[in-house]
A and B are shown apart, each in its own frame.
Chain A
Amino acid sequence: MFELLGVPPQVLMGQLLIGLINGSFYAVLSLGLAVIFGLLNIINFAHGAQYMMGAFVAWMLLNYTGIGYWPALILAPIVVGAIGIALERTMISRLYKLDHLYGLLLTFGLALIIQGLFRNYYGVSGLPYAIPPALQGGQNLGFMFLPNYRGWVIVASVIVCFSTWFMIERTRLGAYLRAATENPELVGAFGINVPRMITLTYGFGVGLAAFAGVLAAPIYSVNPNMGADLIIVVFAVVVIGGMGSIMGAILTGFGLGVIEGLTRVFYPEGSAVVIFVIMAIVLMIKPEGLFGNNA
C-alpha cells in the first residue's frame, strides 16, 4: 500500500480534514481580530476572553432560559457584541490615537477581568454543552468518520468568513469603513457618523469571536480558560496573514490549521510551536505578512 513517510494515505486525508476544521476556528477568530485591527488599529487582546464569553452565553441561554443552540448562534454574538460595544464606548475609544501598545494592554487587562470573574462564578472544571440533535452522528467518508457537527463547523465558518470579506471589500458600507480608517475627517465631512461606525465595527469583530465560541461550545470544554492560550496563536495567524488583511486572515487561518494538523502526525510534540516558527520565518522574509501590502 502507498504510504507517505510511514503514514497511510487514509490517515493523512483524515488529518488534513481535521486540520481544516481547526483552521475554521482560527479563521473566524483571526478574522475578527483582523477586522478590529484593520479598521480600529487596536490589537484586541480580549478576543480570547470574548470567544469564551460566546460559549458561556450559549450555555447560559440553554440553562437559564431554555434557548437552544440555533438561536444561540445568533443571540450569543449579539449579546457579547453589545458588551464589546459598551467597552469600546467607555474605554477603548479613548486610545485610538495612541500607540498600539496601549490598546493591547487595555484589552489584556479586560481579558484578565473577564476571565477572573467567570472563574469566580463558574469554576474551572468546565460545563457540559451538548451537540444539537440535528447534528449528532456522523458520516463515514471511507478514510475517516466525520462527525456531522465538525462538517457544520467548516460550512458555517466558510460562510461567515466570506460574507464578512464580501461586506468589507465589495460593498458600499465596507468602502465607507475602509475610507473612514484612512481619513476619518474626510469621511465625517460627507455626513457619515464615523465614531458610530467604528463602534459597530468593534461590536462586529467581538461578535465574530463569540460566534466562534458558540461553535466551539459543543466540542471543546466550556471553561473560563478556553480562550486564554488561543489568543496568541490567533494573533500569530493574523500577523502571518498580514495585519489588517481580511482575506489574509481567513486563508492563513485555514492554511495554518492544515499545517498544524500535519505537524500532529509527523512531529506531534511540535504542533504547539509550529505556528510561531512559521511566523518567525514569514516576518523575516516578508514582514508585511503573506497577504499584506504595507509593512
Chain B
Amino acid sequence: MSSTETPKAALPAMTHTVGMPTHHKIIFVGLFAVLLILPFMVYPVFAMKLMCFALFACAFNLLLGFGGLLSFGHAAYFGMASYVCAHAAKVWGLTPELAILLGTLTAAVLGLAIGSLAIRRQGIYFAMVTLAFAQMVYFFALQAKFTGGEDGIQSVPRQDLFGLIPMRDDTSFYFVVLAITFGGILFIYRITHSPFGQVLKSIRENEPRAVSLGYHVNRYKLMVFVLSATFAGLAGATKSQVFHLASLTDVHWTMSGEVVLMTLLGGMGTVLGPIVGAVIVVTMQNYLAYLGAWVTVIQGCIFVIGVLLFREGIIGVLQKLIKKSL
C-alpha cells in the first residue's frame, strides 16, 4: 500500500459504462436471493434490522464514497425520520407506507436545510458543520414533547399496508422491508452509475476542474447530500416500524459514528461494502451482547485492526484480489 494513500485513492477505478455490468447483475440477483431466504435462516426481526442498517450505510456511502463528503451527523436524518414515522403511525394512525413516506420526507427537508449550509465548507469543516447540526437535532429530540424524551415513542402500531394487507406478523412485514431496502439500494446504485454519478466523481477527484468545465458544483453536492439524507431517513423510518419504537439512540452522535464504521469496515465507494459492514456491526452487537462490557473492547479492536490493516475495507480488499469492482 503506497504511503501517500488517501481515501480517494483507495477507491477502485469505477466503471464508466452507464448500463449495469454483468457481475453487478449477478451480485444483485444473488443479494436478492439471499434476502428471500434470509427470514427462514435467521430471526426475521433481526433480518429486518440488518436491512435497515444496510440501507442506512448505503445512503451514507452515497455521500462519502461517491460524493467524497464525510458527514458526521447522519444520525439526525435517520433518527428524525424514525421519530416522525413513529409519531405518524401512533398518534395519527397512518398506515405504514404513509408513515414511512412522511418520515422520509422529513429527512429530505432536514437534509436540504442542513446540506445547503454544510456544502459551503470542505473536509473536516464540513464534517464539523454536520456534527453541529446533528447535535442540535438531538437536542430538539430530547426537548420536544412529541418524542417522549428519554422514553422515546413506544408501542408504535403497525397498521395494515395500504389499509388492506395485515402487517402484524413479522414475516409478512419482512417482505415489505425487503422491497423498501432492496429498492433503495438499487436506486442508490443507479444514481452512482448515472451521468449524475459521473459528475459527482469528477467533483470528488478534482473540484476546480469540474468548476472549470462549467458544472454547478454546489448544486451537485447539495443534491447528493439531500439524496443521502433521504435514504438515511427511509432506513430510519422503516426501522421504527420494524421495532414499534423510536428512541434517542437513533439520533445520538454515536449512531453517526456507527454508520461511518459500517461503511469503512465494508469498504467505502463500493457497492457491497456498506452492506457487508452493516451486517458485521449489527450482528456483532446482537450476538456478542452476552459478553457485556467486552463488546466495546472488541468493537474497538476491530476499528484498530481495520484502520491498520484493511483500510480499504473488506470488499475493498476483495476487489483488489479479484480485480473487479464490487
Please report A residues at the B interface, Cβ cutoff 8 Å. 43, 91, 94-95, 97-102, 105-106, 108-117, 119-120, 232, 235-236, 239, 243, 269-270, 272-273, 276-277, 279-280, 283-284, 287, 295
- If the complex has contacts A95-B307, A99-B6, A119-B293, are A270 and B139 also in contact, measured as CB distance less than 8 A? yes
Within the assembled complex, what's the spacing in Å between the Cα atoms of A117 and B294?
Answer: 8
Partner of B125, one of A91, A105, A119, A283: A283
Give the contacts of B285-303 with A (CB-CB under 8 A): 293-297, 299-303
Please report B residues at the A interface, Cβ cutoff 8 Å. 3-7, 70, 117, 120-121, 123-125, 128-129, 131-133, 135-136, 138-139, 143, 253, 257, 260-261, 264, 293-297, 299-304, 306-308, 311
Q: Are B143 and A269 in contact (CB under 8 A)?
A: yes
Q: Are A287 and B301 in contact (CB under 8 A)?
A: no
- Give the chain B neighbours of A287 by CB distance below 8 A: 121, 125
- Give the chain A neighbours of B261 by CB distance below 8 A: 105
Q: Are B303 and A273 in contact (CB under 8 A)?
A: no
Residue of B nearest to A103 (CB): B307
- Give the chain A neighbours of B5 by CB distance below 8 A: 97-98
Partner of B303, one of A97, A101, A106, A295: A106
Q: Are A113 and B300 in contact (CB under 8 A)?
A: yes
Within the assembled complex, what's the spacing in Å between the Cα atoms of A195 and B295?
Answer: 34
Within the assembled complex, what's the spacing in Å between the Cα atoms of A4 and B280?
Answer: 55
Q: Are A280 and B303 in contact (CB under 8 A)?
A: no
Q: Are A97 and B132 in contact (CB under 8 A)?
A: no
CB distance from A245 to the nearest CB of B (A): 14
Within the assembled complex, what's the spacing in Å between the Cα atoms of A276 and B143?
Answer: 16
Within the assembled complex, what's the spacing in Å between the Cα atoms of A94 and B2?
Answer: 12
With A98-B311, A108-B303 already in contact, 12 other A-B pairs whose C-beta atoms are closer than 8 Å: A97-B4, A102-B311, A106-B304, A109-B301, A109-B302, A109-B307, A112-B303, A113-B300, A120-B293, A280-B133, A283-B128, A284-B121
Q: Are A284 and B302 in contact (CB under 8 A)?
A: no
- If the complex has contacts A105-B264, A280-B133, A284-B120, are A112 and B6 also in contact, measured as CB distance less than 8 A? no
Q: Are A273 and B136 in contact (CB under 8 A)?
A: yes
- Give the chain A neighbours of B311 by CB distance below 8 A: 98, 102
Q: Are A236 and B132 in contact (CB under 8 A)?
A: yes
Within the assembled complex, what's the spacing in Å between the Cα atoms of A279 and B124?
Answer: 13
Q: Are B308 and A115 in contact (CB under 8 A)?
A: no
Q: Are A284 and B129 in contact (CB under 8 A)?
A: yes
Within the assembled complex, what's the spacing in Å between the Cα atoms of A87 and B208?
Answer: 38
Residue of B nearest to A274 (CB): B139
> Could you list some 25 contacts between A and B, CB below 8 A?
A43-B124, A98-B5, A98-B6, A105-B307, A106-B307, A108-B257, A108-B303, A109-B299, A109-B304, A112-B300, A114-B300, A116-B297, A117-B297, A119-B293, A120-B293, A120-B294, A272-B139, A273-B139, A276-B133, A276-B135, A277-B136, A279-B128, A280-B129, A280-B133, A280-B136
- Give the chain B neighbours of A276 by CB distance below 8 A: 131-133, 135-136, 139
